Amino acid sequence: MNGGRLSTAALAYIAGVSGTAVVVAIAFGRASGPGALVGLFVILTGLGMLAHAFPIQGFRHQAYQVTLPFIITAAALFSATQLIAFIVLIHLAEQARTRRRLDIQWFNLCNYFLSAALAAIFYQRAVALLPEGAIGQVAAAMAAGCILITVNRIFLAGALWLARGLSPAASGLLLPQLLAADLIIAWMAGPMLVLTLEAGPWMVLVTAGPLLLARTALTVLVPRRRQHRPRQARARAA
């Protein structure tokens, strides 16, 4: 979310999301495990910061990143403290480059944390139910990715509606090509997670390579949508 002045309703919404994030962080921290080794935390967080710091600006106060596989992997492997630090650091990296309004960036941070925390909980439950080994872990990671995308877009849809008067359909959150791009990017979290567990943290670097192509695809998809709208408006006016 990006843009100008926020309404009272939007500020109240951000306050509600913030309070929920604090409550979830406390509860999540009490039930969290030991987390990942320092080396994996440093590599995954560093790549996540790099990916999140270069958003692709959307046409309706949105920004798109290729951070999803890193967030899903972090949700699966990190402790609550590590996950909170990860989410904070990737948004600090983005803020250093984009200089968003602090209230908007704070909402984005809370939104991503809540989405990642719910994805982490879902991943742990799925792993317990699915067969052991790589297949179960990949399936759980992909399911957690779907949860993360869904929750993130629900929270963002509410913010755009209250702050900009944009319905989910009008905001572009439901555009098939952008949903497909997010799902394809999130799909990479499964191999990233399994190979990292099997071969060590440096495999994150190998599995992250296709994200360069995914970012290129997004730069094509998002601006094309922005360019078509004036033509459609002119056609209707004619």
Q: In angstroms, rounded to a whole number, what is the distance separating the alpha carbons of residues 40 and 118? A: 21
Q: What is the pLDDT of residue 35?
A: 83
Sign of CA dihedral 177, 179, 185, 190: negative
Residue spans of the domains in the chain: they are 8-223
**Alpha carbon distances (Å) from 238 to 230, 233, 235:** 12, 9, 5
Q: What is the pLDDT of residue 80?
A: 92
Q: What is the pLDDT of residue 61?
A: 53
Q: What is the pLDDT of residue 78?
A: 95
Q: What is the pTM of this model?
A: 0.85
Residues of the chain with pLDDT below 50 are 223-238
If you classify domain 8-223 with CATH, what class do you get? Answer: mainly alpha
pLDDT tens profile 19-49 = 999 999 999 888 777 888 899 999 999 999 9
Q: What is the pLDDT of residue 144?
A: 95
SS3 per residue for 67-83: CHHHHHHHHHHCCHHHH
DSSP letters of 2-43? --SPPPHHHHHHHHHHHHHHHHHHHHHHHH------HHHHHH
Closest-CA residue to 214 (of 168, 173, 177)? 177
Q: What is the pLDDT of residue 59?
A: 57
CB 192 within 8 A of CB 69: yes
The three-state secondary structure class of 144 is helix
